[in-house]
Structure 1
Amino acid sequence: MTRRLLLSYLSLTMLVLLGLEVPLGYFYARGEISRFTGDGRHSAELLAQALEVRVEQRAASDIPELVADFIDGNGSHVIVVDDRGKVLADSDKATAVGTDLSAEPDIAAALRDRSLSTTREDRVVQGDAFTVTVPGSSGSVVRCVVRVSYPVAPVTAKIHGIWMTLGLIGLGVLVAVAAIAFALAHWVTGPVRALERATAELADGSLKAPPTTSQGPPELRRLADTFTRTAARLQHLLQAQRAFASEASHQLKTPLTALRLRLENFEPYLDPRVHDSLDEAVGEVERLGRMVHGLLALARLENSATAPEATDLDAVVADRAGTWTAFAAEHYVDIVVTGDPAGQVWAVPGALEQVIDNLLSNALRVAPPGTTITLAPRRSGDQRSDTVELHVIDQGPGMTESERERAFDRFWRAADSYHEGTGLGLPIVRQLTRAGGGDVVLEAAPGGGLDAVVRLRPAGGQPTAAPRRPRPAEQEEWVSVF
């Protein structure tokens, strides 16, 4: 922001300088050129009048002396011809006396009593010259012609000098404005940088250094004060939510357990015809317990900032597959691990095991007997964007596209799902995966069934979450709630 403010100040100043200095330099150059050409014509006309008098008086011997006096100090080149175009004098003596120049356009025009001026190269003045050719006449009779070539270099150097002066003035103004603008931008953006640091701290879960409210513009000071009060209120709410997440489990488990025991104690005293209703009631209490358990797990995940750690995905997959194989065998379902070694990935400690457990639990619930659940780690992507994927593929009924899109919504369950599901398992899986910088999606498996794809970052990168390890009690709460 400081750089953008500085650039905006300098751009505005440069536009103002260009709007002032360019017209000033242009009009100064025009004025110098006009003055130079006007003085040159006037001087040439005066010289022509003086020489015309000498020619009329038959005093041609005085012409070289007048020419020498004229060129003294101005560095010009003068040629004088008579009424027939023959050279009477040349200040540089480059053209011999008597040479006929009547064929040259400017001389011919002057012999017809017309004055001409132009800019051309003159070897005598060694560069471009402003050349004026005027007749020395009395009435309509032309007695001589004078050609005067003035060097352009002095006036050009003067114009370049004024442009250089204007450029240096503009540069000095830009340097001064840059210094002032930098100090002003630093003063203006100081509270913004403080707010940025405070926001980053608050995003990590704790605001240790509130932004100062005594520096910067009044509007930003008021903004910093409002942010500090908002952050304090937000921290208070987060602390209250964390306290609820840590205490509510114990407070809610006890009455739910007592309710279940009371319902089960009713069984000997109830008519056998209502035992099914009693079982349904006990099942609903159990589902309510799992739902409370899942909500508390989600609350802990959302309120904690846990640093991912490098985890051996192959070892975790092999361990969980071995653990679930015996349970799957009871349902006549096989668990198979395929794919190449995936190596280490970033994951929150203990979360990867819970992700696999939840996905396997979900797959076993829908897998028909005699089918296979496949765990397939894979590497995908190129060298610039490498990703590790874990596919959990079942051969169950699968889901429609709209169902796969809604499967991660809290409390959502498919219409044909078992009643004991809570609709919190997949949201917890996604929350645990994203805590390690990854993601999870559901895709249709080839040949039917569902392919749960867990995308993880390989452990070559750096973790991004705040450094806090979960407490053992928290890890125990991350269990399957399907």
Structure 2
Amino acid sequence: MRRRILRATVVAVVCAVVLFSVPLAVVVLRLYRQDEVRELQQLADQVAVSVPADVHDTRDPMELPPTESGTRLGVYDDTGRLVIGAGPVRGDGPVREALAGSAASRRLGDQLVAAVPVGSGERVRAVVRAASPADGPLRRAALTWTGMLGLAAVAVGVGVALSVRSSRRLAGPLEALAATAARLEGGDLTARAAPSGLPEADEVADALGSAAGHIDRLLRRERAFSSDASHQLRTALTRVRLELEGALSATAPTDPHDAMRTALASLTHMETTLGDLLALARDVPERASLDIGELLAEAERRWHGELAAAGRPLLVIAEEDLPEAVGSARAGRQVLDVLLANAVVHGSGAVTVTARDAAGVLAVDIEDEGPALPEDQDVFARRRNGGTGHGIGLALARSLAEAEGGRLMLSGRSPHPRFTWLIASRYEEPGQ
């Protein structure tokens, strides 16, 4: 690209110089010739003033002024015959035109000739003829052309220097963009092109960086989805396994239909969970009106039996005139399931779910009667193998809540753990 820019700039400069200098060179030569003819006419006029009334009068011989080398002066009588000076013996074309009463000038062979009549009115008593070499203006023009050629060379050199600088300035950002694109293609989604100062290239770099960031977020979301989906499905599969193993134990009732129905219900819930997670893997949050009453009723139906079987009551409270909220029902189901599952596994005693108005924002509190949480424990951290904590579920719930424009936080550590889910209102945007 740099060579193409350099070649195009040099060609443009050379064409501009040629188109400008060739007509100028022709005009310069013509001006020098006109200047030479004018000088000859002025010289002839000066001599014509001193020409006596009778050019043949020997008592008062006429003297011609000295001239430059190569310039010839001659005086002709009214018959066109040379009287004094240098020139053809018989007057040539310009002399004859001057005898007719008008000054004349032209090029004859290798000379420029100017002839001026001497006299007034219709009577011309003499003619002054001045001639100089015709190559004089050409030599002067050649010197001027040499200077013009030098200036043209300087102009071409400046054009080349500017084109080299411009090619570097233009090609450098594009080469950096190409290198950044190659790094992105190689999997380095953190690659970014540094600002170049060229607005167009910087706009492309910003767009490329935005696209890379968007792709990076999508990949992170897909990886998180894989972990989250495996966690949720593993929890449901463990529940089904325990139910089936309990039905097959020696102390189980002889009729396994109840266990099979419970297992089918768990599989149906697992299928719903998988569908919800697949739908939530998108990048654009759903901004539909959220029916919090229906969500709480579904959560109560799903978790009442399991908590009742463990002797733990589930209390769901919804205040009157709750604020309107928007979001995804799928995300809401998953957030409530994660928080209730966390209360089942890590908590104890009664579980209370309260929907309330928190300064114009819909808030849902989930609290159980389990032990207080340590101040230094981050319950939302993703648990690694061999680590301690509340696992991947709470991290999933927080990411789902934030993706829908809400917040999920641990609002109380003692005397009992309390989680609060703030749901986005109709006028809020995600991430605010």
Using structure 1 for the length normalisation, give the TM-score: 0.39
Report the TM-score, using the length of structure 2 for normalisation: 0.43
Larger relative contact order (Cα-Cα within 8 Å, sequence gap ≥ 6): 1
